[in-house]
Amino acid sequence: MSYLKHRIYGIIFSLFKNSQVKDNMISFIIDSNESFRGNLDYIKREFEKRGNFEFHFFYKDRISISAFKLLASSKYVFLNDNFFPLAFMKFNPQTIVVQLWHAPGAFKKFGGSSDLNSREILKKASENTDFLIVSSKNIEDFYSEAFQISKDKIKPLGLPRSDYYFENHDIAKFKSEFFKKYGINGDKRIILYAPTFRDEERFNNVFDYLDLEKFNESLGDEYILALRLHPKIKKFYSDEISSEGKYVDCSDYPSEQELMLISDILITDYSSIMIEFAMLSKPVVFFTYDYDSYLTKERGFYFDFKSTVPGPIVYDSQALIDVIKNEEFNESRMSEFVKTQFDEIDGQSSNRVVDFLLNHGG
């Protein structure tokens, strides 16, 4: 592939390759809708504690000459997602380029692990990346393959956005505001349902497979179901995701992390949200109504799904209801799973990353 657009970015960037690097200039590469900002926000806060730094947001879908100049003069450059023009951008040796990656841990294959055609450009981008931050030594091999990056560049320092859970949040207030926003009466427990996107469109309408009327009849007195759809489902699914039963559609709720804090149980399938939720030591149920199809037609997993996921696996509505009703959750498996994904869960991930960059990486 020619990657013409990405090469053009590289050409524009090369005009400023001789820019003087400013020791206090930090750039964050992000898209215009500012998705995946969590890690970047926490790294920015940590640097703000350390001195008088200047911060610049480089929007990867906007071409701005001044933005390229600021990027070229940055001491630290952070990414939280793939940015293929990086393959054609030669930074000053004084600049430190850091990939934080937005998703926690490793479970579902991604990048060069699942798309062999992307390996060439991923490798080129990784040659221009100084460090890749991950949450555990146990997943270094997977990230090395996914990014086509040398393992000596991978640093298991933690997930910066996980520091959120160690802040002093008023969870009762969050929950009260959630109930008010969606007109929920009573003091119900919240079940967060966060299904992932499927390439096979027929499996994306979750209420074709979850009998919501039966679900609410069995569990509605105690629980409210909060549905959070993957952005691609709403974007690419041609029909409405609808049902006759009652549920809360919180797909546009501003903070996914706040939702996880106030939720009592997570229902998901193959989504990486379960890794972060498991860190909170709260129950997860895997509703995998399309398991056989997903296993053969989608991108696959780094681990054996059935023997590794930190919770019960169900394939139909009745089994899902029974598991929740009878609280058939496996706490020991949850603990074992979390250990494979995180070396430290202490609210100090951002601190470790910035310490490393200022004391060693720089």
How far is 75 from 97, CA to CA, in rounded Å?
Answer: 9
Point out the least confidently predicted range of 75-84, 102-111, 240-249: 240-249
On the question of pLDDT at 28 being above 60, the answer is yes
The fraction of the chain above a pLDDT of 90, given in percent, is 76
Residue entry with tokens 């990784």: 126
Share of the chain above pLDDT 70, in %: 95
**Reported pTM:** 0.92
The predicted structure's pLDDT at residue 144: 98
Indicate the DSSP class of residue 289: T
The DSSP result for 165-196, as a single string, is: GGS---HHHHHHHHHHHHT--S--EEEEE-PP
* Residue 20: DSSP 8-state: P
d(CA 296, CA 94): 46
For residue 282, the tally of other CB atoms under 10 A from its CB is 17
| Residues 272-298 pLDDT 10s | 899 999 999 999 999 999 998 888 888
User: 């509505």: which residue's tokens?
Assistant: 317
Asked if 80 and 42 touch (Cβ cutoff 8 Å), the reply is no
Q: Which amino acid is at 16?
A: F
Are 227 and 248 within 8 A, CB to CB? Answer: yes
